[in-house]
């Protein structure tokens, strides 16, 4: 996987090293293996699916989360940046490694008691994941796990998830 992820320095602003996953997405074998590995986070030790929904955060979490949901035979919920969803919604402000943002999801996207797997490309400071956890909890759902392609270990984002188990395919 490492050979298929390219570093882009000073993007989207100076000092940030952006992890470009588009070469991974373009490689059938790498993409397929990544989706299968991420989906494993939604199964128990016997292989049974233990989630009702997969949530993917804008935007690369959509690309990864939707096929993970198909693999697990569950529904997929997009978690969007502010102002992108048309119906009643829940919102959560958060900090990320290079600014502030707000995430939203439809208020009825997660039902009380739904078991949810969060999927994204990178776990950095953990702000996006933690905000999404709060959205799920506000809807009455339960986050049973998170899965990411890569984790930037030096930023300690995992700490922001509390007791939520996090599967990372690579720690950088």
Residue 10: CB atoms within 10 Å: 10
> What is the average pLDDT across 163-170?
96
- Which residue in 9, 11, 39, 5 sits closest to 23, CA to CA? 5
What backbone torsions phi and psi does residue 64 show, to the nearest 5 degrees?
Answer: -90, -40
* Spans of all domains in the chain: 2-171
Cis, peptide link before residue 59, omega less than 30° from 0 = yes
Report helix angle 60-72 to 28-39, nearest 10: 70
Identified catalytic residue from 43, 97, 134, 137: 97
Tell me: the pLDDT tens digits for 33-64? 999 999 999 999 999 999 999 999 999 999 99
> What is the average pLDDT across 64-85?
97
- 2-171 topology per CATH: Rossmann fold (3.40.50)
Share of the chain above pLDDT 90, in %: 85
Tell me: the pLDDT tens digits for 105-124? 999 999 999 999 999 999 98
Mean pLDDT of the chain: 95
Distance CA 130, CA 56 (A): 13
Residues in the chain: 172
On the question of pLDDT at 9 being above 80, the answer is yes
Least confident of 1-15, 77-91, 135-149: 1-15
Backbone region of residue 142 per phi and psi (left: phi > 0; alpha: psi in -120 to 50; beta: other values): beta
Query: Do 51 and 116 contact (CB within 8 A), yes or no?
Result: yes
60 is catalytic: yes
Distance CA 101, CA 94 (A): 6
On the question of pLDDT at 96 being above 90, the answer is no
Q: Is the Cα torsion angle 48, 52, 55, 60 positive or negative in sign? A: positive
43 is catalytic: no
Position with higher pLDDT, 90 vs 153: 90
Tell me: the pLDDT tens digits for 124-151? 889 999 999 999 999 999 999 999 999 9
């Amino acid at each position: 996987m490492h050979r298929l992820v390219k570093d882009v320095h000073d993007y989207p602003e100076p000092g940030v090293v952006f992890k470009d996953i588009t070469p991974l997405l373009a490689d059938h074998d790498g993409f397929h293996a990544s989706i299968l590995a991420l989906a494993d986070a939604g199964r128990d030790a016997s292989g049974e699916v233990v989630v009702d929904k997969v949530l993917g955060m804008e935007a690369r979490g959509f690309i990864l989360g939707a096929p993970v949901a198909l693999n697990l035979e569950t529904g997929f919920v997009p978690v969007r940046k502010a102002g992108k969803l048309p119906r009643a919604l829940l919102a959560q402000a958060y900090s990320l490694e290079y600014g502030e943002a707000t995430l939203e999801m439809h208020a009825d996207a997660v039902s009380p008691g739904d078991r949810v797997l969060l999927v994204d490309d990178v776990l950095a400071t953990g702000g996006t994941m933690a905000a999404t956890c709060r959205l799920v909890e506000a809807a009455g759902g339960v986050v049973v796990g998170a899965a990411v392609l890569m984790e930037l270990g030096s930023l300690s984002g995992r700490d922001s998830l509390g007791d939520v188990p996090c599967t990372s395919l690579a720690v950088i």
